[in-house]
Structure 1
Amino acid sequence: MATFSSVGVGTGGLDSAALIKKMVDLEREPLAKLETQKAIVTTKISAFGQMKSLVSALSDAASKLTSVTGWNAVSTNSSDSKYVSATAVGGTLPTTFSVAVQSLAKAQSTASAALMPLGAAVGAGTVRLEVGRWSGTPESFTPGAGKAPVDIEVSASDKLSDIASKINGSGAGVTASILSDASGERLLLRSKVTGEEAGFRLSVMEGGDTDIGSAANTDASGLSRLVNGSTVTQSAADAKATVNGIAVSSGTNSFANTVSGVTFTAVQVTASPVEISVAKDTSAVSSNIDAFVSAYNAINQLINEATKFDTTTGKGALLQGDSTTIALQSALRSAVQSVTTGSSVFQRLADVGITQQRGGDLAVDKTKLAKAMNDNMEELKNMFRSTEGGSAEGIAVKIKATTTSLLSGDGFFKSKDNSLQLALKRNEADRVRGEARVDAFEKRLNARYSALDTQMSKLTALNAYVAQQVTTWNKSSG
């Protein structure tokens, strides 16, 4: 910004710098108004962003009341969850049954004979791991359908720890670890999952042999030592239980396909049957309705606060008088005040105890709502989520449609944001032009006062010279 440093025009005592500053400040006043306008627009953008977030929350709450799963919630109960626990999917019919657990599912575990010396190479060849089922007496192994054997190459320098690492990285469905004690090193293997179908078989083929698992590969030398003398420390086993006295089994401790819609989990072997019950869960419906009411009240209260007028101060809030905000509130209120013929018993929210209060908030009469749920849950569901269309469309469906429209890419909030962003761009353009205008004005003033100062300085010097000459003339004439 240009400055003017003269103490006064022609040293005549006029403070030109102060005078210029005052005139520039007056010229700058419209820029201050632009800054105020920018702050207001920015605050409005933030306010509508808050509204959008709350309308989105209302939309989510309405979705739960339009969803089938929101109305089909069930609760499960176990007479002793320390032994048997249970869950059920929405829509499961109310039922009760007893479960007795005879045994839990187990994973197969094996241990090789002790190998000496510790840390020595085992021998070259191939280790094969197969997943499948052991059965019969004597036991025979049947590979699992579609489960190909996994062959692991072992080099002549590989130690037992190297073989364990290769097994763990092979994806063979088995984990390996090393146990060391005074007698040597043992290779410990364990199925990654439980159940009779998750058993495994280890066989080897030493370097130079061609038939893996043959008798030639079960001696007490080289890689064969992993098979020779190995023991099964735990056999693979399914969990065994009875449901109402009928025997059932599962490869895991969870029985997901035994009782329709119910998954029960064996935790411990039982001494006596555990009772499992499934019932409709009205608390889930009540919670969803409470969440919907809270979401609606949150957006209603925000709009009320943003559009209020304080009669004491005579000042309005940020969006007081904003017609689009009032229209938004009206659209939401119309949706919650709508009527549906989708239910033959309940047509309005007020029919089930959800009423609008002074200021627009919703309140829930818990007693009336509980009676509606207990006496006519199906009709209550229809009132909210009927999809028959037209006048029969459920109230939650209508609210969801309203919020979806408001939140869409060409809806209320997008349109409002576009207009406010445009206002910000215009404000910035006006501010840039204003700054340029003020700078140019200040430069012109400085140039003019500098020229005036120079001219006045010359006149002052001339005046002093003339005065001196007059004085000299007066003296000589005397």
Structure 2
Amino acid sequence: MATISSPGLATNGLDVKSIISQLVALEKRPLDTLKVQAATVNTKISAFGQIKSLVSTLADAAGSLTSLTGWNGVATTSSDSKYVSASAVGGTLPTSFKVEVQSLAQAQATASAPVLPVGTAVGAGTLRLEQGAWLAGVFTSGGGQALDIAVTASDTLSDIASKINGANASVTATVLTDASGERLLLRSKATGEAAGFNLTVDEGGVPADNTDMTGLSRLTTLNGTVSQAGTDAKAKVNGIAVTSATNTFDKTISGVTFKVEQITTSPIEITVSKDNSAVQAKVDAFVKAYNDINQLLQEATKYDAATKSAGLLQGDSTAITLQNVLRTAIQSVSTSGGPFQRLADIGIVQERGGNLSVDSSKLSKALNDNPDQVKDLFRSTGGGAADGIAVRVKALTTNLLSNDGFFKSKDDTLQASLKRNDKDQQRANDRVDAFEQRITRQYNALDKQMSSLNGLNAYIAQQVTTWNKSTG
């Protein structure tokens, strides 16, 4: 920035710095206008970003109505969920059945023979754990690979339990200490008859050593106690016996999963029915998503004659076009067949201002009386005019949100405007700097000239005074 060399023109009291400052401020007015324009563009970028987010929400809401699973909601109830609880997947046909529970699934649990003294080594050898089923006291291997665990001569019962747990076995191990000594407790991780187990040992000597009550043989299932046998859950469905390795029956009734919680004394009734409330909630979400966009666009494009104020996007043709295409999609007619061709036919009407409102009673009646026709109104894919309204809105919003769609194009335009504005500001700044330097040089030169003239004036005045004295 240029500087003035003196406070005034030849000390005549003129505030040259103030004069220059005011002239520069006048020169900066176009720059101030450019800054306001840049701020407006940034605000528009933010506004269109918000609109894009709302359009994305509308796309999701439309998508849930175009998805078949969105129309297959079911409600599952139990006459007493403390005994039997249930759920069903979407699309399950309405049904009801009775469940009686005879027994719950259990995991096998065993306790070894006691080991004394507490904390001493048990003996060297190999533990072998096999998974399978116990039938009438006879173990039948399930055919899986047995787990061998090496035990050293210094291992205590706690060490052995840690090795079993660390081997990711099909059982969990812990140590119980009571008056008779230490016992190894094993429990299957899974319930059911087929998830039983058998623990045998190999102490490296004759086979008889593996079953006596010394060393590692004290830990075998044979020499221990089965505190709980592995059992399947047993129930009756409409009087027909069924079993499950767990307390959950997920293959007994098509589409339905029920879980037995307690043994029953009387049948528990499970009912599966169509759940229209889920569909109604999706329709409500669709309406809200549309209204959120419409309200934002209405506010941004309006002009208030009373206050003479305009919305941020008032006069923006792209915003108005977006509002119109969305309204056209919502107001479209579907020729998919049936009694419903417009949203208004099922209780969804457009109010003044463009917002949608839902007549819940009319929508509920339509869903109860003609569920397939309501579904077609939204998700029919017949092509062209036969497409459902949600299908059209989904296609429209997908196009708007695409990499070369409306929002990308609008953002590119606004970003380009910002770049131009930035260049314009830089040029304006350069002009202001050049102007300030120029007028500062001019005032400095004028100041020097005035100073010289003042000096000449003083000299002449002195000479005149001297001449007057000499001729007086």
What's the CA shift string for 1:422-474, capped at 9, x where partnerless?
22222222223322332333233333333433443344344434444444444
Which residue matches 2:251?
257
CA offset at residue 416 of structure 1?
Answer: 0.9
Do residues 40 (structure 1) and 40 (structure 2) align? yes
Which residue matches 1:390?
384
- Residues 17, 78 of structure 1: alpha-carbon distance in 2 compared, 3 angstrom cutoff: same
What's the CA shift string for 1:13-32, capped at 9, x where partnerless?
12111111111111222221
What's the CA shift string for 1:196-219, capped at 9, x where partnerless?
12112223334xx289xx542344
Letter in 1 for 2:140: F
Letter in 2 for 1:141: T
- Figure out how many residues of one structure are paired with residues of the other and give that number: 471
Counterpart contact for 1:141–1:201, Cα < 8 Å = no
CA offset at residue 304 of structure 1?
Answer: 0.6
In the aligned structure 2, how far is the partner of 1:125 from the partner of 1:21? 99
Which residue matches 1:191?
188
Which residue matches 2:292?
298
CA offset at residue 395 of structure 1?
Answer: 1.6
Which residue matches 1:127?
127
Counterpart contact for 2:139–2:198, Cα < 8 Å = no
Alignment of 1:58-457 (within 5 A): 58-135=58-135, 137-143=136-142, 145=143, 147-206=144-203, 209=204, 214-227=207-220, 229-457=223-451
Letter in 2 for 1:148: Q
Counterpart contact for 1:130–1:172, Cα < 8 Å = no
Letter in 2 for 1:445: I
In the aligned structure 1, how far is the partner of 2:108 from the partner of 2:62? 50
User: What are structure 1's unaligned runs of at least 5 residues?
Assistant: none
Identity %: 63
In the aligned structure 1, how far is the partner of 2:438 from the partner of 2:116? 101
More moved, 180-189 vs 87-96: 180-189
User: What are structure 2's unaligned runs of at least 5 residues?
Assistant: none
Counterpart contact for 2:2–2:440, Cα < 8 Å = yes
CA offset at residue 477 of structure 1?
Answer: 4.7
Q: How large is the RMSD of aligned CA atoms in angstroms?
A: 2.2
Q: TM-score, normalising length from structure 1?
A: 0.92
What's the CA shift string for 1:75-120, capped at 9, x where partnerless?
1111111100111111111111100011111111122233344444
CA offset at residue 35 of structure 1?
Answer: 1.6
- Residues 234, 29 of structure 1: alpha-carbon distance in 2 compared, 3 angstrom cutoff: same
> SS where residue 28 of structure 2 aligns?
helix
What's the CA shift string for 1:291-350, capped at 9, x where partnerless?
111111111111111111101111210001111111111111111111112122211111
Q: TM-score, normalising length from structure 2?
A: 0.93
- Residues 446, 226 of structure 1: alpha-carbon distance in 2 compared, 3 angstrom cutoff: farther
Letter in 2 for 1:196: E
> SS where residue 69 of structure 1 aligns?
helix
